[in-house]
């Protein structure tokens, strides 16, 4: 049994992978494409919160919302001016892949590639006897709970949520009843990108910030989606949870080979369940 | 009310529908007969805007407005609702949610509730299943839900695409009664059927589609006596 601190660390990672994966699957379910540059929106979210708290003196929670809002706007622009102008899933995929380097390059130019650190906003530790958990990490966990509850509410109890689920399941019939896939695409792109940015923002005080911090969360989110079952929102959440723990626990025991073991395990899961844990089996 | 003038629909180089004209008046009950691949579904999708008919490839008018090129939602809001082939329900949504999608364009809460009550009176079997996912329903129940979902839009004209497909004779009979009931309540109907006998028994006017072209039209009472129709579609 690894020490409790490792499990807390795993849970914190899980929260981020979940939020990222959830946004990606939401976009995928309506647009039918994976937005490969999701990790860079995470990175930009971290920079927005860094500068808004250090340079502009904006309170941290407002900074997180600001990051979400700005990147929702960027996401909508990416949809309108890049994704909409290219035909074919493969080419759209390549375009969003190219955006990884464009955004990282732009961030390096603007902010340099040096590591930056945001001071801990919520100092202190909650001691639960068996385990101590820092307030900053608790903030990540509570933030994720709030986001997931809010998303659950939006998807299941609002008209927009009903429309999103309808289009994801049966786009032609949805359009027959007047649901505009076009408008919903912009909405989910905005939500998905905002989630990525806010995940980056809430994590900013815990890790160094540089233009390349989006890569690992993006790959982990992608793996979470694959083991959860592509297209399943529940799968994205469970996949993210599993990966966060696996990543931290494996790294604790075998630091050098941890990635190799992690990917080996994922391949094993996919060999047993090729459709992922929550994916519909291909009959 | 609905007027198609010389429309063409091409998939690549192959024309699925060629130079097709059709006219439906308010209160009519029209059936479209034709073999598999004759272009029936393509025609309905052209009317609903799922398949675009280009400006130079014919004209579609509904209540005097030229609707080709319009988005499906805008066409639906004029009052033409299609019940698509194979039902196309939202499998993971509940029966109630499926019905609410039917009323997506409407804003009148009271009216929506009233339509829901009416739909459930017409299809009482759905009443006990409101919270069941639509994929859990039987084939007949799914078809009823598909029609009920269409009625939730308060349509003036309903385009029914192969509603009897895959249903048992008993359920098919029930369905026929319900369709008649919907027509009696004042909804203009266009029924596409592979089961030609059913279509001709229900409707008052019929068109026969062959290879994307209209080959024959007339009162259904006449079509039932027509030798070509008898041979090709009624198996007599």
Q: Is residue A75 part of a domain?
A: yes
Q: Is residue A282 part of a domain?
A: no
Contact A169 B91 (CB under 8 A): yes
3 state SS of A54: helix
**Chain B nearest-CA residue for A167:** B90
Whether B114 shows a pLDDT value over 80: the answer reads yes
Residue B37 has what pLDDT? 83
Give the pairing of strands A125-127 and A132-134.
Answer: antiparallel
Residues in chain A with CB shorter than 8 Å from the CB of B160 are none
Going by pLDDT thresholds of 50, 70 and 90, the confidence category of residue B230 is confident
Say what percent of chain B tops pLDDT 90.
77
Q: Is residue A265 part of a domain?
A: yes
Give the pairing of strands B205-210 and B29-34.
Answer: parallel
Average pLDDT, chain A: 92
Q: Is residue A283 part of a domain?
A: no
Whether B155 has its CB under 8 Å from any CB of chain A: the answer is: no
Q: Is residue A70 part of a domain?
A: yes
Going by pLDDT thresholds of 50, 70 and 90, the confidence category of residue A5 is confident
- One-character DSSP codes across B206-229: EEEEETTEEEEEEEHHHHHH-HHH
Residue B13 has what pLDDT? 81
The tens digit of pLDDT for each residue in B85-113 reads 999 999 999 999 999 999 999 999 999 99
- What total of structural domains would you count in chain A? 1
The tens digit of pLDDT for each residue in B13-23 reads 888 888 899 99
Instruction: Classify the complex by whether its ipTM is higher than 0.95, answering yes or no.
Output: no
Going by pLDDT thresholds of 50, 70 and 90, the confidence category of residue A23 is very high
Size of interface A-B (CB pairs under 8 A): 67
Q: Please state, as a whole number, how many other Cβ atoms lie within 10 Å of the Cβ of residue A225.
A: 28
Residue B112 has what pLDDT? 96
Identify the residue whose tokens are 């940015």: A197
Alpha-helix residue ranges (DSSP H) falling in chain A: 4-31, 38-54, 60-81, 89-111, 135-157, 159-169, 171-176, 181-203, 215-228, 233-253, 258-272
Question: Average pLDDT in the B207-212 region?
Answer: 91
Q: Is residue A279 part of a domain?
A: no
Range of the domain at A67: 4-272
Q: Is residue A281 part of a domain?
A: no
**CB-CB contact of B5 with B58 (8 Å):** yes
**Chain B nearest-CA residue for A155:** B93
Residues of A with CB under 8 A from a CB of B: 159, 162-163, 165-166, 169-170, 172-180
Residue A186 has what pLDDT? 96
Residues in chain B with CB shorter than 8 Å from the CB of A178 are 72-74, 76-77, 104-105, 153
Whether B119 shows a pLDDT value over 50: the answer reads yes
Whether B58 has its CB under 8 Å from any CB of chain A: the answer is: no
């Amino acid at each position: 049994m690894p020490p409790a601190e490792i499990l807390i660390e795993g849970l914190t990672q899980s929260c981020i992978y979940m939020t990222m994966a959830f946004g990606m699957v939401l976009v995928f379910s309506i647009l039918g494409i994976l937005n490969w540059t999701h990790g860079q929106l995470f990175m930009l979210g971290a920079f927005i919160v860094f500068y808004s708290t250090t340079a502009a003196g904006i309170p941290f929670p407002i900074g997180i919302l600001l990051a979400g809002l700005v990147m929702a706007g960027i996401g909508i622009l990416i949809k309108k001016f890049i994704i909409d102008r290219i035909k074919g899933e493969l080419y759209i995929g390549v375009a969003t892949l190219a955006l990884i380097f464009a955004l990282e390059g732009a961030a390096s130019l603007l902010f340099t590639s040096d590591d930056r650190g945001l001071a801990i906003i919520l100092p202190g530790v909650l001691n639960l006897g068996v385990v101590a958990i820092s307030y900053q990490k608790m903030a990540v966990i509570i933030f994720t709970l709030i986001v997931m509850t809010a998303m659950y509410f939006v998807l299941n109890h609002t008209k927009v949520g009903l429309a999103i689920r309808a289009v994801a399941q049966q786009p032609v019939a949805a359009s027959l009843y007047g649901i505009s896939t076009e408008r919903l695409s912009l909405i989910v792109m905005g939500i998905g990108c905002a989630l990525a940015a806010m995940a980056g923002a809430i994590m900013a005080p815990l890790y160094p910030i540089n233009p390349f911090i989006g890569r690992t969360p993006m790959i982990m989110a992608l793996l979470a989606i694959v083991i959860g079952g592509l297209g399943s929102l529940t799968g994205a959440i469970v996949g993210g949870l599993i990966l966060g723990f696996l990543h931290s626990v494996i790294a604790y025991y075998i630091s050098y080979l941890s990635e190799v073991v992690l990917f080996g395990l994922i391949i094993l899961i996919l060999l047993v369940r090729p459709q992922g844990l929550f994916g519909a089996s291909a009959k | 009310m609905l007027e198609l003038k010389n429309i063409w629909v091409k998939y690549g180089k192959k024309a699925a529908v060629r130079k097709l004209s059709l006219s439906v008046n308010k209160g009519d009950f029209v059936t479209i007969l034709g073999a598999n691949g004759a272009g029936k579904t393509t025609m309905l999708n052209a009317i609903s805007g799922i398949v675009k008919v280009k400006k130079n490839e014919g004209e579609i008018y509904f209540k005097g407005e030229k609707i080709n090129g319009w988005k499906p939602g805008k066409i639906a809001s004029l009052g033409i609702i299609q019940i698509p082939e194979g039902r196309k329900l939202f499998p993971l949504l509940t029966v109630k949610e499926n019905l609410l999608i039917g009323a997506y364009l409407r804003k009148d809460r009271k009216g929506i509730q009233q339509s829901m009550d009416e739909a459930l009176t017409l299809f009482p079997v759905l009443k006990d299943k409101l919270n069941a996912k639509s994929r859990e329903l039987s084939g007949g129940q799914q078809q009823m839900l598909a029609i009920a979902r269409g009625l939730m839009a308060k349509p003036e004209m309903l385009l029914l695409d192969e509603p009897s497909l895959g249903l048992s004779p008993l359920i098919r009979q029930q369905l026929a009664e319900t369709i008649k009931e919907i027509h009696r309540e004042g909804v203009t109907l266009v029924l596409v059927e592979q089961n030609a006998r059913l279509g001709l028994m229900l409707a008052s006017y019929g068109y026969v589609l062959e290879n994307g072209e209209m080959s024959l039209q007339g009162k259904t009472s006449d079509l039932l006596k027509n030798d070509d129709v008898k041979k090709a579609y009624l198996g007599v």
